[in-house]
Amino acid sequence: MSIDQIFQLSNNLAILGWLFLLIVPYWKWTAKIVIGIIVTILAILYITFIVQAMNPEDMRSFGTLEGIMELFTNKKAVFAGWLHYLAFDLMVGIFIVNDAARSKVNRFLVIPCLLLTFMLGPTGLLLYLIIRWIRTRKYFVEPGTPASA
């Protein structure tokens, strides 16, 4: 299978995860499927491609912007970076859904946050944190068990 085909399948897998978060966020299997299957597959692919794309000397490249730019001239490294975004954005989506359930933030207020997280990662998280603060008057997140546990 080509890297382009794996790229397409990875995107489709991530979209499936986002659909679970948007359509059935509080279903008992949503977090299990998103984390236990989808994010896990993305993480395995990430490790596979990052190992192929990098060598130990490349670790020094993370210290400068120029070094990072050089790393991302390799197609496999760029794809690994993309997989990193897909997996971590889904984890942020899970956090938003679980925290919103604990904080009693209306599900319909959460939907734009999830859509923005899907498209622009930190922007969706920031919107959620602002909505959460306005609705609860609490800024800091309280630890707790996930809503779907």
- Residue range 101-142, pLDDT digits in tens: 999 999 999 999 999 999 999 999 999 999 999 999 887 777
Name the residue among 136, 89, 137 with its Cα closest to residue 113.
89
pLDDT of residue 41: 98
pLDDT of residue 58: 67
**Among all chains, which residue has been given the structure tokens 């120029």?**
66
pLDDT tens digit sequence for 41-77: 999 999 999 988 877 776 677 778 888 888 788 899 8
Please give the backbone phi and psi of residue 100, each rounded to the nearest 5 degrees, phi first.
-65, -40
Name the residue among 100, 93, 95 with its Cα closest to residue 133.
100
In this structure, are residues 32 and 38 in contact, taking their beta carbons and an 8 Å threshold?
no
The token duo for 122 is 């930190």
- Listed by start position, the domains of the chain span 3-136
